[in-house]
Chain A
Amino acid sequence: MTMMDTEIAISLRGVKLQQDKFTLGPLHCNIPRGMITAIVGPNGSGKSTLFRTLLGLEQVREGEVDVLGTCLSGQHDEGYKTRIGFLAENPHAHENHFTADEKAHFASLWYPSWDWERYRKLMRHFDVDGSMKLSKLSKGMRRKAELSITMAHDPELLLLDEPSSGLDPFAWKTMLEELTRYMEPGDRTLILSTHIMEEIRRLADYILFIYRGRILGLFEKDRLIDDWRMLVIQQSSTMHSNVELLQQTPGLQGLAESGPGLYRLEVNDPEQGEAYCRSCGFQILAVQRMELEDILSCLIRKEEARR
């Protein structure tokens, strides 16, 4: 996949950083502009650290980070941050005694594109009372207030670290509507980390898959859904055990014996894979699309086997 610079929101080139026991990187990827990219990965795989890196809050040991055309290495203009909206994974304790409106006031001083009208609309749509202290709000209410503040300056780049945590299903639906509306002009970029597969299904164009501090891939979501299949195949009674043959299946990603002479294959080149199994004398019992979580689990298993 090639992209022109104007189509890239974030570029990571060999980015590496070190914390006590955790190494993030080296990361290479270009995150496209105008698209929604979901960052997915097990807990502790480096999603939040990646967000902090994009905001220049982490010391980058090696490599280069470009965000909205600003290279974060060495001396750089901090102005790019006013074009970003960031929602952290956890609320900041030092803001507990502020009301949402007070926090919004501080934000309005910092962001030149701040729009009070937009802020009030978001707060109304999320049904939050802006005059309540943040500490007095329930987890979900506070999340909705923080989300409204994060989006009120209509940032070019929206970074949301597990935005839906604590939201009830109705607030979650409102959030999807607001994020869809935010993306409508076509030049906005949304990057969100999430564990909720339904959120990825509804929102994501791309999936950035992170595992143990490394990128397992940046995938176009529909390519994953279209390309990956699970094949259930059976060997005929006259055949010898043929696992070695099956290992050669084109596009093979996972292989398990699920009964005598019965195999389950995960492939990302289904047509070739199917044809190959047939030519080896196997009977195809079923061909199924795979759920996103199964595809991602398969990628993890493959990575574990490689390590």
Chain B
Amino acid sequence: MWLPIRIDEQRPEPLYHQIEVQLRGLIFGGQLTEGTLLPSIRELAVSLKCSAITVRRVYQDLESEGLIRTRQGTGTFVARVDAIVKDEHRLERAAEELEQAIEAGIQLHCSIEELQTIFHEIMVRRKEETGKEELI
């Protein structure tokens, strides 16, 4: 099967990390459901243009986290993931993304107050656009 994983050559994170984060995201996000058969190590390596060593490392990491399991001779499958764990991951990911955005702001010499103002302005605009009260 084909996985919507993309390696961004310009990002500094190592290849295995990029693949791992995205595959974990696909499992937590529910795009890959329990029991889904994942591509073999070699298949995924060829499709992502990375080495089998890298994919093996990703599969080993996710297996030790209990997200996937390998059955000898049949392949690698998505394991059962609790809803609570999925939700924790969702917030964790959002926090990471925000952190990165804040980091970019600091690189541009913004003060914390300035960033807070920008954050607030964006939220107000979003609220007006969507008309959804609960966003703020």
Contacts and interface: CB of A to CB of B under 8 A. Distances in A.
Interface of A: 35-36, 176, 180, 183-184, 186, 201-206, 220-222, 225-226, 270, 287-289
Interface stretch (B20-28, B48-56, B91-99): B48-56
B54 A184 contact: no
Nearest to A183: B42
Contact of A226 (B10, B15, B43): B15
Contacts of B10: 288-289
Interface string B47-85: 001111110000000000000000000000000000000
Contacts of B54: 222
Looking at chain B's contact residues, the main secondary structure is helix
Chain B interface residue number, banded: 10 to 19
Nearest to A198: B49
A180 B52 CA distance: 11
B76 to A, nearest CB: 12
A222 B46 contact: no
B40 A184 contact: yes
Given A180-B42, A180-B46, A184-B42, A205 B12 contact: no
Interface of B: 9-10, 12, 14-16, 40-43, 45-46, 49-54
Given A36-B52, A201-B49, A222-B54, 6 more contacts: A184-B40, A186-B42, A205-B45, A205-B51, A206-B51, A226-B15
A180 B53 contact: no
B49 A35 contact: no
Contacts of A184: 40, 42-43
A292 to B, nearest CB: 10
Contact of B51 (A204, A270, A287, A288): A204
